[in-house]
């Protein structure tokens, strides 16, 4: 197959996306496919040009360079300023044209623009096949406050909390209702960027400033202490549960992607009933939002054994330390096989 692996973009998870894309590109090439790794924002070249299917006969000539994943969020203003054409269009030069030439686009994007449904909607209008969830389920899942409404309605337990915006006239009144400790995080962010755990009222403002520096709308949730887990769901069926235990602190951006920063155990050391309960909630969450291809659902379990669903990931990471590939491996599906499987099920769901 001729495949575009789409990555990069303009989200705080831009660099993570490149690493996912690089791994996927390598795997798909080893599987015998013709693959081009493409930055959705930078595109290829400085301007639009005439391209045809022959690009897939010398794919590596089109690949983007992979940045080092150093645990630091990218400077998005600098990235915008570095694009040669300075077009107001989000898609870089030749992106749509190259994607239309492909048999399928593997979505290795993370965060806004990649997981919020807008690219998926654009591809639907162009008739471009792609991997992962459709535009509507992606849009719902991207907003943590909206996701919680769907999950609660489906009977999936979630932490209590509120959503606040920077320009809310009653912001101070809303903040007065907060219980401590709490978690402050951007409503649409990923990879734990901008997330703070706040133990007392005098530390709240610093956490608000950090979260609001990334987005104008944030979520403030009741803190749920305990063990952290994740469950991949493929075609509505839960994979083995994985437990994530950071060596230090909580599962923040650095601990997610720096080797040795977290201990990940799969299958998680849980009794059979608790494992089934978590897998049930993961499948329920995916069904409630319409995630019929693949996704990953994150949970916390407090010391009393009560589960709380934290969020839904519609394009799970595919880095060397990512959770979905580890879960699939427990079932005997290696990384290369998983990449092909995700393409196959996505094409089948879209009737391709």
| Residue among 117, 249, 140 at smallest CA distance from 187 | 140
Say whether both 46 and 97 belong to one domain: yes
Say whether both 203 and 229 belong to one domain: no
Computed from CA positions of residues 189, 162, 140, 300, in that sequence, does the dihedral angle turn out positive or negative? positive
Question: In 3-state terms, what secondary structure has residue 200?
Answer: coil
Residue 68 resides in a domain: yes
Low-confidence spans in the chain with pLDDT less than 70: 68-71, 189-192, 248-260
Token pair belonging to 307: 């589960």
**CB 187 within 8 Å of CB 143:** yes
Say whether both 318 and 283 belong to one domain: yes
Residue 135 resides in a domain: no
Number of domains in the chain: 3
| pLDDT tens track for 62-111 | 888 777 666 677 888 999 999 989 999 999 999 999 999 999 999 999 98
pLDDT at 352: 73
Say whether both 231 and 280 belong to one domain: yes
- What ranges make up the beta strands (E) of the chain? 2-7, 34-39, 104-107, 161-165, 182-186, 196-198, 217-222, 227-234, 237-238, 242-246, 262-265, 294-301, 307-313
Say whether both 176 and 247 belong to one domain: no
Burial of 185 (0-12, 13-18, 19+ CB in 10 A): buried
CATH of the domain at 63: 3.40.50.20
CATH of the domain at 249: 3.30.470.20
**Helical (H) or strand (E) element with 344:** helix 335-349
Cα–Cα distance, 183 to 218 (Å, whole number)? 10
pLDDT at 191: 53
Token pair belonging to 66: 């992979």
CA distances from 6 to 117, 189, 198 (A): 14, 19, 36
- Residue 199 domain boundaries: 161-222
| Residue among 209, 176, 189, 64 at smallest CA distance from 114 | 189
Say whether both 153 and 278 belong to one domain: yes
Residue whose entry in the numeric block shows the structure tokens 């209590």: 160
Residue 136 resides in a domain: no
Residue 7 resides in a domain: yes
The b/e string for 54-78 (b: 16+ C-beta within 10 A; e otherwise) is ebbeebeebbbeeeebeeebbeeee
Q: Is 107 left (phi over 0), alpha (psi -120 to 50) or beta?
A: beta
Say whether both 69 and 177 belong to one domain: no
Q: At what angle do helices 14-30 and 335-349 cross, to 10 degrees?
A: 100
| pLDDT tens track for 195-211 | 899 999 999 999 999 98
Question: In 3-state terms, what secondary structure has residue 250?
Answer: coil
Say whether both 245 and 180 belong to one domain: no
| Residue among 188, 209, 187, 189 at smallest CA distance from 198 | 209
Say whether both 196 and 234 belong to one domain: no
Say whether both 46 and 96 belong to one domain: yes
Cα–Cα distance, 295 to 285 (Å, whole number)? 10
Say whether both 36 and 67 belong to one domain: yes
pLDDT at 215: 83
Say whether both 53 and 125 belong to one domain: yes
């Amino acid at each position: 197959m001729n495949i575009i692996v789409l990555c990069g973009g303009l989200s705080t998870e831009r660099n993570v996306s490149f690493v996912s894309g690089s791994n996927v590109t390598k795997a798909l090439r080893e599987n015998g496919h013709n693959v081009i790794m493409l930055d959705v924002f930078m595109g290829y070249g400085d301007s639009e040009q005439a391209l045809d299917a022959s690009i897939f006969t010398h794919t590596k000539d089109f690949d983007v360079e992979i940045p080092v994943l150093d645990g630091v969020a990218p400077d998005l203003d600098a990235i915008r300023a570095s694009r040669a054409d300075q077009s107001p269009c989000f898609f870089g030069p030749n992106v749509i044209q190259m994607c239309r030439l492909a048999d399928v686009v593997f979505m290795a994007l993370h965060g806004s623009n990649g997981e919020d449904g807008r690219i998926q909607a654009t591809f639907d209008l162009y008739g471009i096949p792609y991997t992962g969830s459709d535009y509507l389920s992606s849009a719902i899942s991207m907003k943590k406050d909206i996701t919680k409404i769907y999950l609660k309605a489906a009977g999936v337990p979630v932490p209590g909390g509120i959503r606040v915006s920077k320009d809310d006239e009653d912001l101070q009144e809303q903040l007065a209702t907060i219980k401590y400790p709490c978690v402050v995080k951007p409503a649409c962010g990923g990879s734990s960027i901008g997330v703070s755990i706040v133990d007392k009222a005098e530390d709240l403002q610093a956490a608000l400033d950090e979260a609001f520096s990334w987005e104008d709308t944030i979520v403030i949730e009741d803190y749920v202490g305990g063990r952290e887990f994740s469950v991949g769901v493929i075609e509505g069926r839960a994979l083995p549960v994985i437990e994530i235990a950071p060596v230090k602190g909580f599962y923040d951006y650095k601990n997610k992607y720096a080797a040795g920063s977290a201990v990940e155990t799969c299958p998680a050391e849980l009794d059979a009933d608790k494992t089934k309960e978590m897998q049930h909630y993961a499948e329920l969450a995916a069904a409630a939002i319409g995630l019929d291809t693949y996704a990953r659902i994150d949970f916390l379990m407090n010391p009393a054994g009560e589960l709380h669903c934290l969020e839904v990931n519609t394009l799970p990471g595919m880095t060397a330390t990512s959770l979905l590939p580890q879960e699939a491996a427990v079932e005997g599906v290696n990384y290369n096989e998983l990449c092909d499987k995700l393409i196959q099920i996505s094409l089948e769901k879209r009737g391709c």
